[in-house]
Amino acid sequence: MMLFSRTLGCPVLSASDASRVGTVAGLVVDPERASITALRLTDVPSGGDVIPWTDVHAVGPDAVVVEAVASGRFTSAASPEVHNPLGKRLLTELGDQVGTLGDIAFDPESGGIGTLHTSRGEQVSGERLLGVGAYAVVIRVTPGSGARGITGLAEIPEVTEVTEVTE
Amino acid sequence: MTPHAVNPLEPAARITKRPVVTLGGEAVAQVKDVVLDAANGRIAGFTLAGRGLLAGPLRKSLPWAGVHSLGADAVMIPSADALEDRAAVASWDEKAAGPVRGAGVLTDRGLRVGTVLDVVVETGREGRAVAIEVDSAEALGRHQRKVFLPLGARPAMTGDTLMVPATDIEYVVEDIAELPAAVGRKRLMEQGGHDAAGTEGTP
């Protein structure tokens, strides 16, 4: 697992000619699959600034390497579904705020999201993601349960020990 | 589920301006007012206002059936489809009419105990109106103090008068923090046999 905050600001290089494609500035998340679907870049000479995860070859500690991408594969971040979730308020499906989204621990191979780190130092399993919108990131109260299958309230997200993530 | 559990409670006035957020994380409106279904002691829905630059009354309303959960920081809805025409909740409003601010609170012994300042609702998914905030009259021994009175499941309400069982006065608390316990005690009494002599639900 890798923390997204460490990838932010990393240079993005092309695997074919080592040319600089841009700089990582954000990410696009598919909450249903709990995975990263695209990276948002800045300093992109070609104009576009969202690159699909399928074009990512490797995410290393010092750089993100992408396949040789035609600039046509880039889309613009102006599209409404492109939200950078880091720093967003974190709401439970019950409408209670449990901090903001501090970081995302993800699998650099698959882009799968392992845990969400809250600003309060809690970790929430990625499978509890319900939605990522312009206003908030929404999480389920209990993992894997159907949205209506909850009776109790006041269940603040399960708290797991905060462990140092090395790597 | 524990039968007597009381969710966190809030005066309806505090829900005003709370954002209405989809489970997808989009804020689509904000609460303008809480509309009560007085006959059933619950929230009928919300009238809405726009957010940000679009602030102002909205042609949409939110019936309680479309609410996923009323939370401390947002009213959650499954999607923007939960919003309905303004008439959907406004008509509830006319039909239900109260416990409105300023209504007199009378016991079934004919004693006036105060006037309604606000209604206290339970957060979560039930939408219950569990108590009223009362500007108390001399009869409560606390003239013009703000007190909280737990409500039965079917409060007896006509226009400008709310009638409560005289025995309910013992559940009055002065601090909203003590209200969940008082509501719990009242529910416990109601469950423990109806020997409290038909005070409940008599019109």
pLDDT at residue B24 in the model = 94
Confidence of residue B99 (pLDDT cuts 50, 70, 90): low
pLDDT at residue B124 in the model = 93
For B83, residues 6+ apart whose C-beta sits below 8 A from its C-beta are B20, B28, B29, B48, B60, B61, B62, B66, B77
* Mean pLDDT for the stretch of residues B148-170: 85
Q: How many CA atoms lie within 13 A of B172 on its CB side?
A: 24
* Mean pLDDT for the stretch of residues B30-37: 88
The answer, yes or no, to whether residue B35 has pLDDT greater than 70, is yes
Whether B84 contacts B62, CB under 8 Å? yes
Interatomic CA distance for residues B123 and B136, integer angstroms: 25
Confidence of residue A79 (pLDDT cuts 50, 70, 90): low
Instruction: Write out the two tokens for B111.
Output: 């004693």
Tell me the C-alpha to C-alpha distance, in Å, between residue B65 and each of B9, B30, B37, B99, B125: 20, 17, 12, 20, 10
Q: Are strands A97-106 and A113-118 parallel, antiparallel or unpaired?
A: antiparallel
The answer, yes or no, to whether residue A108 has pLDDT greater than 60, is yes
pLDDT at residue A81 in the model = 57
* Mean pLDDT for the stretch of residues A123-148: 82
* Mean pLDDT for the stretch of residues B192-203: 50
Interatomic CA distance for residues B203 and B201, integer angstroms: 6
Confidence of residue B90 (pLDDT cuts 50, 70, 90): low
Q: Sheet holding A50-52: strands in order across?
A: A50-52, A35-42, A20-30, A11-14, A64-66, A56-59
pTM of the model: 0.81
Question: Cβ of A132 under 8 Å from any chain B Cβ?
Answer: yes
- Which of B15, B76, B122, B128 should be substituted to probe chain A, the one whose Cβ sees the most A Cβ atoms within 10 Å? B76
Strand partners, B47: B33, B61
Interatomic CA distance for residues A74 and A77, integer angstroms: 9
A138–chain B nearest CA distance, Å: 6
pLDDT at residue B59 in the model = 82
Interatomic CA distance for residues A56 and A13, integer angstroms: 10
Confidence of residue B4 (pLDDT cuts 50, 70, 90): low
ipTM greater than 0.90, yes or no? no
CB contact under 8 A, A95 and B75: yes
**Residues of B in Cβ contact (< 8 Å) with A131:** 22-26
Q: Are strands A136-139 and A89-92 parallel, antiparallel or unpaired?
A: parallel
CB contact under 8 A, B69 and A94: yes
* Mean pLDDT for the stretch of residues B69-98: 80
**DSSP, residue by residue, A116-160:** EEETTS-EEEGGGEEEE-SSEEEE-SSTT--TT------------
B51–chain A nearest CA distance, Å: 11
Instruction: Write out the two tokens for A35.
Output: 């995975």
What is the residue-averaged pLDDT of chain B? Answer: 83
pLDDT at residue B203 in the model = 43
Q: Which domains does chain B have, with CATH numbers?
A: 7-83 (2.30.30.240), 101-196 (2.30.30)
pLDDT at residue A111 in the model = 93
Which is it for the CA torsion B183, B186, B191, B192, positive or negative? Answer: positive
Q: Which residue of B has its CA nearest to A32?
A: B24
CB contact under 8 A, A94 and B124: yes
